[in-house]
Each structure stands twice: as C-alpha cells, then as structure tokens.
C-alpha cells in the first residue's frame, strides 16, 4: 500500500470539503490505487493540529470540520495549539512522500511551500496568491522536481495547481498538454469568475446591474464585500497564472484590469456601496445595448494574447462559446495553430467548494501515484 501523508494549510470551505472527501474516499483509494492518504497535520491562520502518531484519526478530522464551522480556531481546539510558522509545522509533521496542500487565500504560505519542496516533499495549491507574487516565487514553486536536460518538464514537477484557474476544470492540464504537443497557443480567452458570469447573464436578461449584484450578494455568490469580485483582481490573478504558464515573465501590475465600479466607490462601507449601486445602472444598460447593436453580448473576459493580459467587460460575438455562456459556469477558449478557427473550449462549473476540493484531491492522488 502506498502512503502519501497530507499536511493541510487552510480549513475554510475548500479545506473542510477536502478533508471530508479524503475520509469518504478511503476505501475507493485503497481499492483502485492501493493508496492511503493519512492526514498528518491541519493548520489554520494561527493554530494547528498535528498527529501524535501516524495520522489524525478520521473522527477527529470530522470534528475539526464542525469546530471550524462554528467559528473555532485550531489554537483553541482540544488537540490543537498555536502556530506562527507553517514551515515549522512542515518540519514537525513532514515524513517521506508527504504532500503539502495549500487551501488558504494568502501569499504568506509561500515560504513554507518552498521549504516543503526543498525537503523533497510535494505541493498542491488551490491558493492563487503564491503563484502571482514575484516571478522567482512562481518559478521555484512550479519548476521544482525532476529534470530533463537540466530543465523540469511541466507535468513531472513536484507541484500541482490545477484548481487555481477554473476550480475543478482541467484548464492548467490542457495548457500543459498543448505546450507539450508543440501546438502554438496564440490566444487564451475566458470567463473565469462564476460570480461575474452570473452578473453578466443578469444584464443580458435586461435586469438592472444593481438588482443583479444585490441578489448575488444576498444568495452568497459574492464575497461578503462584493467589490472583491467586481474589482476583477481575482480574475487578473488567474489570467497571470495562465500567462506565466505560457512562459511569459509578467507581474500582476502588468495585467490591465477594468473593474465594474468606479474608484470613488472603493471607500464606501459595504452597506453604502450596495445602496449606491443604482447610480451604475444606466452605464451598464448602455454597454449592453451597444454590444447588442454590434450583434454581440457583454461578458467579463480575461484575455491572454500577444504578450498582454487584459481583464474586464468586453463585447463578444453572440454565437461564440463565450457569447453563448450562461449563468455561473466558467469557460476557457484556447486558440492555437491546430485549434482554429474553432478553439478548444473547456466549460463547466467553475466555482463551489466541493468541485474545487475534488480538483485538489485529484491533484493529490496524481502526485502520490507519481511518487510511488
């Protein structure tokens, strides 16, 4: 039986769903892959639970999920304690064939991830931020591992980051397969935010911008502060990861981002912002009408082409894959030498903790089997 001990950073929505899926799939992994995924440590922002023996027991893992759901901190958990250094947790909990999994939303995990790779462990990221800070950090995280002719082949490296772009959709894997085949990628265009896709669909239906955003906020489709979605920075991070995957050496500051609200609304409280939204209705109604007059529709699009990354509202052909997209699905078009004039299209559910956790778990299993 193969063993791949897991050290988990982050026990929020995705981290909790991942724990649950690992526990639920133990028999499946054992039967299909002769694989065990013991969880050696679970960490949140300032606390950790570390296995005293081989692994944290499943009953304890499920209790941790409930504890966190109630707002608890692992520093206060009965079997937990404070932690201020994730790299130290990697040292304490690390063991042969370990996989460190980052389900947080902070760039501060980067030193611990790099330390894990230096110790010969492997890394899986659902967290975009370490991949979108300094280029050197991206290179160290994505190019660690086995080498061929002095350079690590992309899919034999010790890191996987599939769920950073499109949740469980195979966007990064497709990018790597196209590059491996020698197919020249000329353009990537995508709707990479389920929240903004929901907003664009509402606008296309003729609804006021303010009404759609307020509804998305009420239903929990947006972050607690909807500007975190409407500003476009999260989409910009995904575009940058795709651009860096093409070998472009760009930073987040190089991505041209057009958000869906003016900067003078940035200083408002969330309540004030929601109340002020009707002032934007006429602007977005005009954009939708202008798009329709051109035979197109309005979409929030990330474009990676000709050495540039742009993110923002864009008129697209109504008959194109992006033009036909509805609801909160994600969609990515790869325009290449071989995939033209019809692009290679990946579409599906691009958000949700369960879909994202399933993608993370798939990355874990793939690395664990390669390790063996």
Encode pLDDT of 335-347 as tens digits: 999 999 999 999 9
Task: Decide: residue 318, CB within 10 A, 0-12 exposed, 13-18 middle, 19+ buried.
Answer: middle
Range of the domain at 96: 2-167+354-371
Same domain? 198 vs 78: no
Closest by Cα among 147, 71, 171, 159 to 114: 159
Residues with a catalytic annotation lie at: 238
Token pair belonging to 232: 């476009």
Same domain? 119 vs 219: no
- Residue 17 falls within a domain, yes or no? yes
Same domain? 345 vs 360: no
Asked if residue 302 lies in contact with residue 311, where contact means CB atoms within 8 angstroms, the answer is: yes
Please state, in angstroms and rounded to a whole number, the distance separating the CA atoms of residues 153 and 146: 7
Asked if residue 355 lies in contact with residue 349, where contact means CB atoms within 8 angstroms, the answer is: yes
Same domain? 134 vs 210: no
- Residue 26 falls within a domain, yes or no? yes
Radius of gyration in angstroms for the set of CA atoms belonging to the chain, rounded to a whole number = 21
Q: 153: cis peptide before it, omega within 30°?
A: no
What pairing do the DSSP bridges indicate for beta strands 185-191 and 81-82? unpaired
Residues of the chain with pLDDT under 70: 144-156, 371-372
Number of domains in the chain: 2
Same domain? 91 vs 220: no
Residue-level pLDDT at 148: 46
Reading phi first (left if > 0) and then psi (alpha if -120 to 50, else beta), residue 247 is in left
DSSP H/E element including 152: none
Q: Which residues pair with 312 in a beta bridge?
A: 301
Asked if residue 353 lies in contact with residue 13, where contact means CB atoms within 8 angstroms, the answer is: yes
Please state, in angstroms and rounded to a whole number, the distance separating the CA atoms of residues 293 and 116: 54
Q: What is the pTM of this model?
A: 0.93
Same domain? 200 vs 342: yes
Asked if residue 32 lies in contact with residue 65, where contact means CB atoms within 8 angstroms, the answer is: no
Alpha-helical segments (H) within the chain: 13-24, 26-33, 58-69, 86-93, 110-118, 135-142, 171-181, 194-204, 209-218, 227-230, 233-245, 270-276, 281-293, 321-324, 353-371
Same domain? 6 vs 136: yes
- Residue 178 falls within a domain, yes or no? no
- Residue 115 falls within a domain, yes or no? yes
CATH number, domain containing residue 320: 3.30.360.10
Please state, in angstroms and rounded to a whole number, the distance separating the CA atoms of residues 151 and 42: 33
At 25-79, the pLDDT tens digits run 999 999 999 999 999 999 999 999 999 888 999 999 999 999 999 999 999 999 9
Please state, in angstroms and rounded to a whole number, the distance separating the CA atoms of residues 327 and 304: 23
Same domain? 153 vs 202: no
- Residue 172 falls within a domain, yes or no? no
Residue-level pLDDT at 371: 61
CATH number, domain containing residue 18: 3.40.50.720
Same domain? 252 vs 118: no
Please state, in angstroms and rounded to a whole number, the distance separating the CA atoms of residues 119 and 135: 21
Same domain? 153 vs 17: yes
Residue 58, CA distances (Å) to 3, 104, 142 in order: 16, 21, 31
Residue 83, CA distances (Å) to 61, 72, 78, 92, 270 in order: 18, 15, 14, 12, 32
């Amino acid at each position: 039986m193969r063993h791949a001990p897991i050290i988990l950073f982050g026990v929020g929505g995705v981290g909790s769903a991942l724990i649950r899926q690992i526990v639920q799939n133990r028999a499946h992994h054992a039967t299909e892959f002769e694989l065990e995924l013991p969880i050696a440590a679970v960490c949140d922002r300032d606390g950790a639970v570390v296995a005293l023996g081989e692994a944290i027991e499943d009953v304890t893992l499920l209790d941790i999920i409930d504890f966190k759901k109630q707002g608890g901190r692992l520093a206060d958990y009965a079997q937990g304690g404070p932690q201020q250094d994730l790299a130290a947790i990697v040292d304490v909990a690390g063991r042969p064939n370990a996989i460190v999994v980052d389900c947080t939303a902070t760039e501060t995990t980067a030193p611990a991830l790099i330390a894990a790779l230096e110790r010969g462990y492997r890394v899986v990221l659902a967290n975009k931020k370490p991949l979108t800070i300094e280029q050197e950090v991206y290179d160290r995280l994505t190019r660690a591992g086995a080498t061929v002719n002095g350079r690590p082949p992309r899919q034999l490296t010790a890191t996987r980051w599939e769920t950073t772009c499109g949740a469980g959709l195979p966007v990064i894997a497709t990018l790597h397969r196209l590059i491996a085949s020698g197919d020249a990628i000329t353009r990537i265009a995508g709707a990479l935010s389920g929240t903004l896709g929901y907003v664009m669909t509402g606008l296309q239906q003729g609804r006021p911008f303010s009404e759609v955003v307020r509804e998305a906020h009420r239903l929990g489709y947006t972050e607690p502060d909807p500007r975190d979605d409407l500003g476009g920075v999260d989409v910009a991070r995904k575009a940058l990861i795709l651009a860096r995957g093409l070998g472009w050496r760009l930073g987040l500051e190089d991505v041209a981002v057009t958000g869906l609200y003016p900067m003078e609304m940035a200083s408002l409280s969330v309540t004030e912002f929601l109340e002020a939204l009707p002032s934007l209705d006429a602007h977005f109604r005009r954009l939708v009408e202008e798009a329709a007059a051109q035979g197109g529709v309005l979409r929030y699009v990330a474009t990676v082409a000709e050495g540039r990354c742009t993110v923002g509202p864009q008129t697209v052909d109504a008959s194109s894959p992006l033009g036909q997209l509805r609801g909160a699905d994600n969609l990515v078009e790869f325009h290449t030498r071989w995939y033209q004039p019809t692009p290679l299209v990946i579409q599906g559910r691009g958000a949700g903790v369960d879909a994202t956790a399933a993608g993370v778990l798939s990355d874990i299993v793939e690395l664990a089997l390669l390790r063996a």
